């Protein structure tokens, strides 16, 4: 009889096979069976942790890339219509099935026990096609990391044993640093139990996830704490999905809380510490999302420039177009180097690893906003239309820049940490 864990792995492998079979290209020769190797990555990953070998990263990158091309790219325009179109449930479930949501979880939680290199390479490849799923992966990873930092192992273990993706997901207001702008609920302590009341803006995955992590202040305390709540609690009312700039299929809602039963994460008043520790690690993952968007934008612009004619020639032959493309390629090349270095620093806890991670995000997110503007420009009018991916990447890049707080304040914090 198979153990529960082995059964899960087999189930995941079936999932992998299922979408490998629908691949239109002929199967690769056996020796190079690297088409969708998530299962291999999963097994290989279990042998080493937390740092992932280059080979394993390559395999994971390929798996994420093929997943994105097969499951996300064909329906990008349709998926982006959410909340006015259907949600990409199928893609979400498949991503869950192939363990993209388990990358940073420890082995005893059925996780891959990988570091930021593995998460980053996955986000990079996913976001090349559609960063909405990247946003879901990121938010969930940030929530998991926050719980890990707070030492809420038992709660995390309980969540990670959930069998469906919606039950498994954890919502988090991942665009706000509660120390900066105090979007906080109010917590009331009765004995050892807590209840939350009040409102909370922009809870990412609030209408998808089974539970949410909520920052709240306890009366009499100047510092905030994090709490876990069940999103099915009758005391929670949710707004319609918020119509936002980008990441349409990574939806957020506003929450109203009325005496909602809550579980403290970590210790009282330590919310800010947990957030900053989480942010130290996750910033580089946010940078990787931006890199993925940049790569997608460059590829579409480059391909278009080779086909579209203007002034009697393919536009790629005009030197101003070459200059713009070159600037895009240079940004990407630099971003790749920065992220590789920053991921290594984070995973090996090199000196100043926190600085590396945050600097990478601030710089690369900024570059992504500039690059995706040019990405539209090179396509001209069609770049502004929904039929192509460039306008979505432009919106997504700006959206991604807002992850983990207000950008100028992140910069101020960066230097304050050095003073």
Partner 1 sequence: MVAHAQRSPFDHAPCFEDMTSSLQSTARQPKGMLKETREVVALARKFKEEVMRPITLSMDRQMQKDPEYLPWEFVRKANEWGFYTLWVPRIFGGKGYNSPSMSYFLEELGSECLGLSNLIGVHYLAVVTMFATFNIRLINKLLREVEDGQKTGIPCLLSLAITEPGAGTDVEEVELVDKGNVGCQATKVEGGYLINGSKIFISSGHVSRWHIVICYEDLKNPSDTMLVLPVKTGSKGFSFGRKEHKMGVKICPASELNFEDCFVPDDLVLMNKEQNQKNRRNNKQTNSQMIDYVVSTSRAGVSAWGTGAARGAFENALDFAINTEVNGKRLVNHEWAQAMLAEMYKNVAISRLSYVETNYANGLCGLYKTIQFKPLFYYFKIVPKIVIDYIIRPIINLPVTTWVFRKIQLDGQTDAQFHRTSGWASLAKFTGTDAGVKNCQMALEIMGQAGLRQDRRAEKILRDSKLLQIYEGTNQLNRINLFKCLAAQGHSQVRVFEHE
Which residues bind to partner 1, rule: CB under 8 A?
84, 173, 175-176, 179-183, 201-202, 242-246, 309-313, 317-320, 324, 369, 373, 376-377, 380-381, 383-387, 391, 394-395, 398-399, 401-402, 405-409, 412
Q: Quote the least distance from Cβ 413 to partner 1, whole Å.
A: 9
Q: Quote the least distance from Cβ 390 to partner 1, whole Å.
A: 9
Q: Quote the least distance from Cβ 71 to partner 1, whole Å.
A: 23
- Phi then psi for residue 35, to 5 deg, are -55, -70
Q: Annotate 228-267 with b (16+ C-beta within 10 A) or e (fewer).
A: bbebebebbeebebbebebbbbbbbbbbebeebebbbbbe
SS3 79: helix
Q: Quote the least distance from Cβ 408 to partner 1, whole Å.
A: 6
Choose between 63 and 213: whose C-beta lies nearer to partner 1: 213
Choose between 140 and 152: whose C-beta lies nearer to partner 1: 140
Choose between 25 and 222: whose C-beta lies nearer to partner 1: 222
Choose between 60 and 216: whose C-beta lies nearer to partner 1: 216
Is residue 311 within 8 A of residue 318, CB to CB? The reply is yes
Q: Quote the least distance from Cβ 174 to partner 1, whole Å.
A: 9
Choose between 134 and 173: whose C-beta lies nearer to partner 1: 173
Give the C-alpha separation, 332 to 53, whole Å: 22
Choose between 20 and 239: whose C-beta lies nearer to partner 1: 239
Q: Quote the least distance from Cβ 417 to partner 1, whole Å.
A: 14
SS3 190: strand
Vertex 163 angle, CA 160 and 164, to 5°? 105
Residues in the chain: 419
Listed residue (55, 139, 125, 111) closest to 299, CA to CA: 125
DSSP class of residue 271 equals H
């Amino acid at each position: 009889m198979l153990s529960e864990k082995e059964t899960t792995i087999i189930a995941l492998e079936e999932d992998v096979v299922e979408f490998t079979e629908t691949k239109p290209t002929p199967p690769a020769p056996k020796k190079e069976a690297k088409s969708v190797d998530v299962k291999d990555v999963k097994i290989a990953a279990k042998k080493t942790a937390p740092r992932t070998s280059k080979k394993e990263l390559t395999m994971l990158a390929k798996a994420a890339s093929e997943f994105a091309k097969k499951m996300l790219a064909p329906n990008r325009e349709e998926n982006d219509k959410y909340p006015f179109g259907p949600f990409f449930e199928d893609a979400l479930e498949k991503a869950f099935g192939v363990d993209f949501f388990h990358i940073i979880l420890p082995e005893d939680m059925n996780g891959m026990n990988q570091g930021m290199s593995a998460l980053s390479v996955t986000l990079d490849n996913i976001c090349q096609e559609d960063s909405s799923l990247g946003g879901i992966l990121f938010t969930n990873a940030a929530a998991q990391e926050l719980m890990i930092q707070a030492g809420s192992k038992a709660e995390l273990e309980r969540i990670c044993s959930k069998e469906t993706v919606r039950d498994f997901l954890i919502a988090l207001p991942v665009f706000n640093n509660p120390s900066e702008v105090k979007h906080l609920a109010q917590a009331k302590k009765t004995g050892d139990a807590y209840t939350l009341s009040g409102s909370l803006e922009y809870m990412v995955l609030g209408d998808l996830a089974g539970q949410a992590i909520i920052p709240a202040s306890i009366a009499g305390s100047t510092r905030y704490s994090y709490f876990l709540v069940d999103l099915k609690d009758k005391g929670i009312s949710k707004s319609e999905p918020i119509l936002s700039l980008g990441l349409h299929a990574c939806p957020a809602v506003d929450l109203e809380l009325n005496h909602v039963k809550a579980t403290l994460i970590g210790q009282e008043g330590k919310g800010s510490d947990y957030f900053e520790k989480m942010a130290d690690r996750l910033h580089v993952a946010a940078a990787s999302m931006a890199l993925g968007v940049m790569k997608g934008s460059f590829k579409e612009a480059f391909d278009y420039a080779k086909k579209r004619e203007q002034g009697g020639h393919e536009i790629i032959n005009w030197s101003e177009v070459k200059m713009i493309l070159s600037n895009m390629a240079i940004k990407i090349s630099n971003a790749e180097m920065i992220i590789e270095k920053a991921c290594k620093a984070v995973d090996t806890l090199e000196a100043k690893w926190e600085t590396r991670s945050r600097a990478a995000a601030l710089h690369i997110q900024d570059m992504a906003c500039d690059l995706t503007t040019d990405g539209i420009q090179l396509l001209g009018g069609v770049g502004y239309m929904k039929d192509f991916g460039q306008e979505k990447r432009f919106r997504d890049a700006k959206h991604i820049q807002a992850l983990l707080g207000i950008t100028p304040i992140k910069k101020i914090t960066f230097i304050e940490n050095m003073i």
